[in-house]
Each structure stands twice: as C-alpha cells, then as structure tokens.
Structure 1
Amino acid sequence: MYLKKIKLLREKISNSRDYPFSISSIKNLDELNLTKAVTFFVGENGSGKSTLLEGIADKCDFNVAGGGRSNIYDVHASQSALGDYLRLGWMPKIGNGFFLRAESFYQFASHLDQLKQDDPSYNYDRYGGRSLHEQSHGESFLSLFKNRFEGKALYLLDEPEAALSPARQLAFLRVIHDLATKNETQFIIATHSPILLGYPDADIYSFDEHHIDLIDYEMTDHYQITHYFLQNRERMLWELLKEET
C-alpha cells in the first residue's frame, strides 16, 4: 500500500456549481481512505469515477492522456479539472506507476512509435517486443499489463476491460493477483466489468448515490444486472424488447 488517503480541498473551491463539482459524488467528497492493494471505482457514466481517477493521476504527475511520468506527449483536452483540488496521503510516497486511459490508448501507442522513430535504438521490450499498433486491441492491453507493470508502483486504470474479452479479463485478474500479492503494487481501477469486480478482498467504491460509498460485490449493479440476465435471459429480453401498446 502506498496511496492511503484522498482528500478534497474544499477551501480552494470558488464555485461549487462549476465542473467537476457539479458532479454530486465529487461535490460531496470529503476524504476517501484506501486500505486494500486493489480498489475499484464503480458507477454509471458521468458519476465521477473517471474524473476522480484522472485527478489522482494528475497529482501523481502521470500523463493524464495515459502513461507514466516519463511519457510526455499531448492529446487534445487531456487535462484534469480536479487535480489542483486534491491532496494525496502517502506511506511511503512513490513516483513509479502508470495511468491507463482506455479512450486515449491509441494515442499512447502512437507516442511509443514516435519514440522509436526519433531513436531507432528504442525497443518495445516493456510492451511485448513490438509496436502496440501491430497487435490487436486486446493483445496490446495485455502486453502492457504483462510487460510494463511491475512491483513498487501505483497503477490507475480507467476501464481496462474496454479491449478485453471475458477470457482476457480473467487473464488480467491473474496479472493483478501476481503483482498485488507481493505487497509491492497498488491498483485503483474504474470499471464496469463484473468479472474484474470479482477480484477477492478488494474494496469497491460506488459513485452512484450522489456520494462515494463502500459496497459489497453482490450489491453492485454490475453483478445484480448480469446475474439476473443470465438467470432470466428470455424473460428479461421479452420485457426489454416487447412492443408498447
């Protein structure tokens, strides 16, 4: 465990109606304590989970377009609106880590190719030995996870399941397990995946009820909706798709 606490600096907020404080979960945030090696943020789109994760990445000096401290490149509109209003509590503080932003992963892969173009001696050893653009979307994500991720680091992942099939999500759970159980790696993951959320002994914070609450896996919408659908597929589809009279 490295990052222990996330605190909102309310005294710095001049207008609570401005974004991102117009998001209820962010506006009501006081202090969030992290006690597990793996923490999940869940909630509907727009609930604030990605906004908070991006703010943490900004305070860690990770590239908020995706990457670590050494990945310097620009993506339009890739900036944090929240970072300046957060204080992070560490024990101990570390600088090693990575911010995965699924929506700008293409630009991150292009950044690596530009490094290769600028310096032919640059290699892709930390990314599977070849350009991420030469791999399928799912392969490129797993190449990053298996080769770039290592101990004594903080990994902030925004919807890592975006490119992963169910089988590859299970493979990613093994990557998390192998790193987290060595007590050297911490993960904070924003996800919609009921598979990833099933990781044992993780904390799950829900952003859905206008504030941030610690909840059990079985209480997440992701589990309940998926479980109900699998148990009642025909009935649920009939209700969903029936014509209105």
Structure 2
Amino acid sequence: MSINPPSRYNLICSYVDSIFDGIVDSKEKRAATVHSFGVAQCCALLAKKRGLNAELASIIGLLHDLYAYKTGHIPLHSINGSEMIRVTFKYSLNGVFTNEEQILIKSAIYHHSDKDLLHDEYDELLKDSDILQHYLFDTTSDEYTGARLKNVAKELGISVPTAKAAHALDSQPHLFDRVLLGNIAESLAKKHIKGGRSDTDYMNIIRYFPEETAFDELKNAWCAAFVFHCCMKARLLLPIRTPHTAKEVANYRFACVLS
C-alpha cells in the first residue's frame, strides 16, 4: 500500500511547529500559534475571494512572522523574515517551491509591515489578512481599525467599528545613541565572551541570525555580529542583510559591515 507524501501545507506546518517548539514562554507560544494559523486562514479566505492560489496564500500566512518568533526580535522582522525564508528555501525547504513561488512568498513577507503602501496582490493579501486576524481575535479593540480593515470588511460584507483618531506620536522618539553604543560595546568587551553555546551573552549576540548553521558559521568569526548586536541595542536598527529586496539577494550578510 503506497503512502501519499505530505502536502506542501503540512510540510510548512511541521516546519512552523518546529520553530514554535523553541518558544519557552507558554503565552508567547500560544499567541504565535493563534496568530500564524489565524492569518493563514484569513489568507486562504481572501485568496478564494480574489481568485488567487489559496494554498500558497495560506503558506505565506504561516511564514510571515516566523523570524520574530524564532529570534524574539521584532524591529525589521518583515525584512529579516524574508531573508530567513530565503535561506530556508535553500536548505530545510529546498525543492518545495518554484522560483516564482519563492519570490511571491518572500515579497509578501518582506512588505507586510508596510501597511500604508501598496504592493503586489499577494503582498496586499497578507497585509489585509494580518490586520483582519488581529481584529477578529479581539473585536472589542480599536487598535487595528483603519482604512485597510474597513476596505477588507467591505469586501467580505461585514461591519467593523469606525477608526478612532490616531494616538499622538511620542514626543521623544527612540533615536540612535552613539554614546550608548560605545558603552554597550565596552561593557560586553569586559566580559571576555568566549563564543560557546553555554555563554548567554554570546548566544544573545548571534540570536538575530536564525539559521541552524549560524553558530558554526560564526564561530571564531563573530566580530560583525558583535557590532550588529551593539548597534541594535543602541537603537540603530539594521536588517541582517543589506542591500536587500525580496527579489534580489544582498551583497553583505551582516548589515553592520556597512555601518
């Protein structure tokens, strides 16, 4: 009796589950699961509505926030998430998707934080699904109300509350602090970090790079990762690879090489 191979969707579910298994905090793990699978369902619904590929849309929904869940690092997670998936397509998910599908997936992840801009159809589908899931998870909250949710609600024939006025911007935005950068670097340098798996400081330094091979690749060559970590802690937000777009591979693995 022959056994049918697992579907692509089930392969992605297994990959996502393997990452969620690494989330220690039970509430964070639950939130990751609810949001990711919820967005996947919203993606499938909107894909059916818009005549797009529902399977591919669901997979995009599952993958869109994985970088943040794996590393715990939220800033620029859409750009970094696209890079993470690019590498995953070379190894863990090699041969699962065509080149064209890979571009669609990477592009949607790359752009999904740019909710105020318009991009390609799968990019927009993910943005709409992201907003829709947040709203449906807690319909009493007005945090995600706005023009995008209003448009999706109209498309689906459902009602949503009118958006309230935007909150005032922080009068003191978190800007890059050169002095803080120096202090962070000096403080870490005094710890004589060895670069082992048991070294909490070292593992924290390389946590931005999500590949399973990151530890071995950075061993005895993590100076750029050190600079990157210090920059991030000092609020100089950089992507892990730059220059980078969803369609083109970047020239530099660590953004801090250019900083």
TM-score (norm 2): 0.27
Point out the structure with the larger strand share. 1
Please say which structure displays the higher CA radius of gyration.
2
The one of the two structures with greater contact order (alpha-carbon pairs below 8 A, sep at least 6) is 1
Point out the structure with the larger helix share. 2
